[in-house]
Amino acid sequence: MKSPRKKRTVKKKDQSRNVRLKAAKHLIRWVDSGQVVYGPRESFISDSDYTFYKHLMSGVVRHWRRLEYIIGLLTGKPVEKLDKEVLVSLALGLIQLEEDSRTEPYAAINETVELPALLNKPYLKGFINANLRRYTRDRDSIRKDTERQMLGVVTSHTDEMIDRWTRQFGAERTEQICNANNILPQLQMVVNPAFDKQAVISELQKQGFQVDDVHETGFSIENPAGLFDTLLVNRGALLVQDRSFQDVNKLVASLPKTRVLDLCAAPGGKLIHIEWEYAGEIELLVACEISHTRLNLLKQNLKSYQSKALPVQSDALAPPFGIPFDLVILDAPCSGTGTIRKHPEIKWSRSPTDFERNQKVQIQLLEKSADLVKPQGHLLYVTCTLENEENRSVVDQFLKERSDRFQLVRLDSSMVDTEYLTDDGYYQCLTSADRMGCFAALLKKSVD
């Protein structure tokens, strides 16, 4: 009689090595293609493995230019002359040797040294080992050298991006943006007004969650692991939304909202927050999305939050609606440079041609959106980019062509904190320690 087959187990050491190897392969693919593709959560044995993988991936991508500079110092070679396996292995090792790393230095070195063999280049093991150990010996002098370099090296941004922001916002504010882009994103929550905020906070604290930055509509959570398995989330008490977009919701507080249309609505956070705040004023709420995949995500979120919004699959450039709306919201596709903290790969994948191409589409979307606004109704244009070509320039060009029908509503301190208001009446939140970048313009349609 055969003995029962033993269940295969993965040793913790092998498991962590597999995570590092997966990160290395995906980073090598990024170096080759310029496209960051993260592995799906379900491909990892545990949530902790996936969290460690994301920490490695986003850490290397976020700090890539600084890591390249340090690797050049360590090896004494131009990084473009190094094997990509060397470059990625050293970058992964250095990220794990950062002061805020969750990995012990000996484990960071020993496990990283094994990567070349797993990548079919075992002869590189000694080179990786020597350079990582040199870094641990000379860490202080290497850091001082790095900190003396230009802002693009210190904060890992392209010179072109820094030059653009300096022209728009000045040198001091640009440095603040670059430093903020390297802060790990907080999980910021909105509390459903149907729930008592203090009671929600108390319940979360009882369950061990650290609640910080409590404000009018929500708070942030520093240790979110397990949050989405809680009864509070399942009951629809909490919604993830960055502070900058929470403020956008305030811009429509005093506007008529009997019929509301959200174009480009997925994943639905902005729509759900508006529904929570203004449910008593809204009779018809429509959510439009062109992508089938994103539409399914939108539907799932609307169902989870028991939203009454009607999801519609439609191209925003050819909306199928025969009725006008009191409020049309256009959260326009953009370069996303205000969300670098959450998506660090944007640092390396955007160029002026992207902004110009986006602008053409954004103007077309504004034109189509305008036709859906009823007389005396409003059009809210929103982006998560910092770039002028996708923000003010779009609105300015639209108003130049439609000045007979639309006027800019100058936003003021009754709507949002003056810190986020421009001199000409726009909402512009630049990336900071507690907010991602966001822009909004409110337009009003005149009487026919």
Listed residues 149, 175, 203: the one ending a domain: 149
Residue 118, both tokens: 């797993």
Tell me which residues of the chain have a pLDDT lower than 70.
1-16, 99-100, 448
In this structure, are 139 and 224 located in the same domain? no
H-helix segments, 170-323: 171-181, 197-206, 231-234, 243-250, 269-278, 292-304
In this structure, are 308 and 427 located in the same domain? yes
In this structure, are 411 and 267 located in the same domain? yes
Residue 174 belongs to a domain = no
pLDDT value of residue 1: 43
Q: Which long-range contacts (CB under 8 A, 24 or more apart) does 196-200 make?
A: 200/232, 200/237, 200/238
Give the pairing type, strands 373-383 and 438-445.
Answer: antiparallel
CATH code of the domain covering residue 270 = 3.40.50.150
pLDDT value of residue 303: 92
- If one counts the domains in the chain, the total is 3
Residue 171 belongs to a domain = no
Listed residues 123, 149, 175: the one ending a domain: 149
H-helix segments, 34-121: 47-62, 64-75, 84-96, 105-113, 115-118
Q: What domain range is 414 assigned to?
A: 250-445
The count of C-alpha atoms lying within 13 angstroms of the C-alpha of 206, restricted to the half-sphere facing its C-beta, is 9
Phi, psi of 25 (to 5 degrees): -65, -40
In this structure, are 327 and 197 located in the same domain? no
Residue found under tokens 């990625």: 88
Residue 397, both tokens: 């060009």
Residue 239, both tokens: 């919604």
pLDDT value of residue 15: 52
Residue 6 belongs to a domain = no
In this structure, are 210 and 107 located in the same domain? no
Q: What angle do CA 264, 270, 275 make, to 5 degrees?
A: 115
DSSP line for 5-53 = PPPP---HHHHHHHHHHHHHHHHHHHHHHS---PPPGGGSSSHHHHHHH
In this structure, are 298 and 218 located in the same domain? no
The single-letter DSSP state of residue 421 is: B
- The sign of the CA dihedral 269, 275, 278, 282 is positive
Residue 312 belongs to a domain = yes
pLDDT value of residue 225: 82
In this structure, are 235 and 102 located in the same domain? no
Residue 59 belongs to a domain = yes
H-helix segments, 105-242: 105-113, 115-118, 125-147, 151-155, 159-169, 171-181, 197-206, 231-234
Residue 396 belongs to a domain = yes
In this structure, are 214 and 323 located in the same domain? no
In this structure, are 261 and 323 located in the same domain? yes
pLDDT value of residue 199: 96
* Under 8 Å between Cβ of 306 and 352: no
In this structure, are 273 and 420 located in the same domain? yes
In this structure, are 351 and 418 located in the same domain? yes
What span, in angstroms and rounded, lies between the C-alpha atoms of 93 and 332? Answer: 39
Structural element, H or E, at residue 429: strand 427-429
Q: What are the Cα distances from residue 137, in Å, to 66, 128, 133, 331?
A: 18, 15, 6, 50
Q: What angle do CA 222, 176, 210 make, to 5 degrees?
A: 10
In this structure, are 210 and 333 located in the same domain? no
Residue 179 belongs to a domain = no
pLDDT value of residue 16: 61
Residue 177 belongs to a domain = no
Calculate helix-pair angle for 12-33, 105-113, nearest 10 degrees. Answer: 70
